[in-house]
Amino acid sequence: MAAATGTPVTFSKLTANFEARTFARVKIRNKCYFDIDTRYTDLETIGDGAYGVVCSAWDSVLRRKVAIKKVADVFEDLVDAKRILREILLLRHLGEHPNITSILDVTVSPQVKDFKDLYIITDLYECDLDRIVTSKQILTRPHIQFFLYQILKGLKYIHSANVMHRDLKPSNILVNSDCALAICDFGLSRGAEDEASLTDYVVTRYPRLLYSAQIFNISVCDS
Ligand SMILES: Nc1ncnc2c1ncn2[C@@H]1O[C@H](COP(=O)(O)OP(=O)(O)O)[C@@H](O)[C@H]1O
Ligand SMILES: [Mg+2]
């Protein structure tokens, strides 16, 4: 599969004509349902994250495959709801960069006025870095250099917007077979100046810890 090359759709277009959408209920591996716009077909599970199931699907409007992340019961927990909102807002702003996943569409279940589930549609990648590094696949020096180069490029863009990802790990880095790479999962991201909200996470998440330590000028060993 070629690198994800989708042209991001503007947010006003995402939510336009919502009432005109038609929905179908698709059963995913006997364990959950996707109430999804009928433009998306051939759903298959590709990931199971902390906030929900991720499926690949054929998008009959864009005429290519996409990824759909279902966030079930989005309002059940206020903190989680804020994280999802933050993820959508950040992807809107940062997703134009080639090394950051771009958001293509957002839909809710058919009960638009009283919805519980949210679906975030992004460019589809073939794998994540966690699966690659835990597989038997040999990574050559040029592979590693190219991955690192793209990660740093994506991070530079994120940090230039004064945002910290705070959950950078192999499973949140998506890769295609041509080695194109994109950083995903901005649910824990924060603005660098949002100091108060950082404290509960920095002690448990080592990649963020290193970055936060630099920002707040603290010793990593004393944290
Ligand atoms: N656009 C995508 N293309 C391919 N796989 C994806 C995509 N988005 C997510 N995934 C897969 O689903 C997993 C969970 O997605 P993620 O956005 O990290 O959700 P969570 O917040 O639940 O961790 C990822 O680790 C990855 O394996
Ligand atoms: Mg994740």
Q: How much distance in Å is there from the Cα of 50 to the middle of ligand 2? A: 7
Hey, what domains does the chain have and what are their CATH numbers? Answer: 11-123 (3.30.200.20), 127-221 (1.10.510.10)
The torsion angles phi and psi of 149, rounded to 5 degrees, stand at -60, -45
Nearest atom in ligand 1 to 171's CA = 25
Q: Sign of the C-alpha dihedral, residues 10, 15, 16, 20?
A: positive
pLDDT surpassing 90 at residue 3: no
**For residue range 7-56, what is the model confidence (pLDDT) as tens digits?**
444 445 555 566 678 889 999 877 788 999 999 999 999 987 776 799 99
Helix or strand (DSSP H, E) at 141: helix 141-160
**For residue range 167-198, what is the model confidence (pLDDT) as tens digits?**
999 999 999 999 999 999 999 998 887 655 55
pLDDT surpassing 60 at residue 98: yes
Give the residue, out of 184, 188, 189, 205, with the most ligand 1 atoms within 8 A of its beta carbon, to mutate for a pocket test: 184
Task: Give the pLDDT confidence score for residue 31 in this predicted structure.
Answer: 73
**For residue range 99-157, what is the model confidence (pLDDT) as tens digits?**
999 999 999 877 667 788 999 999 999 999 999 999 999 999 999 999 999 999 999 99
Determine if ligand 1 sits within 6 Å of the CB of residue 40.
no
Q: Name 127's bridge partners.
A: 175
Task: Give the pLDDT confidence score for residue 126 in this predicted structure.
Answer: 97
Q: Tokens 């970055």 sit at which residue?
A: 211
Choose among 196, 207, 198, 204: nearest CA to 223: 204
Average of per-residue pLDDT values in the chain: 83
92 — alpha (psi -120 to 50), left (phi > 0) or beta? alpha
The CA distance from 45 to 111, in Å, is 24
Give the residue, out of 45, 73, 128, 135, with the most ligand 1 atoms within 8 A of its beta carbon, to mutate for a pocket test: 128
Tokens, residue 218? 């603290």
Determine if ligand 1 sits within 6 Å of the CB of residue 90.
no
Going by CA atoms, what residue is nearest to atom 15 of ligand 1?
Answer: 49
3-class DSSP state of 172: helix
19 vs 199, higher pLDDT = 19
